[in-house]
Amino acid sequence: MTTNTSWDERYEDVLTDLMPRLAEERPLPADRELRAAGLDSMATVELLVRLEEAYQVAIPDEELGPEAFETVGSLWAVVAGQLDAAAPR
């Protein structure tokens, strides 16, 4: 498994709060599949809301295809993209 440290502890906290199975794997591997960790359709909505609140970003619908929720790393790429877009230039 690939471990990625580009995200912060807050990201892992949000994920492990909604998917407790992930707590044993911290630091989270980037290639960990979210569905296999317990992410279902209801948890997906809650996860999105919590990430938007935690990072004070609004993730556009066009960024939220099924591929965004495949792995820990793919979801972080979406969040990081919004953080980059919101950063002052």
pLDDT tens figures, 10-28: 999 999 999 999 999 999 9
Largest CA distance in the chain: 39
Pick the CATH number of 9-86 from 1.10.1200.10, 3.90.1150.10, 3.40.50.300, 3.30.565.10: 1.10.1200.10
| pTM recorded for the entire structure | 0.90
Cα 21 to Cα 25: distance, rounded to the nearest angstrom:
8
Would you tell me the crossing angle of helices 9-18 and 72-86 to the nearest 10 degrees?
130
SS3 for 22-57 is: HHHHCCCECCCECCCCCCCHHHHHHHHHHHHHHHCC
> In the prediction, which pLDDT does 17 show?
96
Q: For the chain, what are the domain ranges?
A: 9-86
> Can you read off the two tokens belonging to residue 59?
């993730």
pLDDT digits (tens, 9 = 90+) for 48-73: 999 999 999 999 999 999 999 999 99
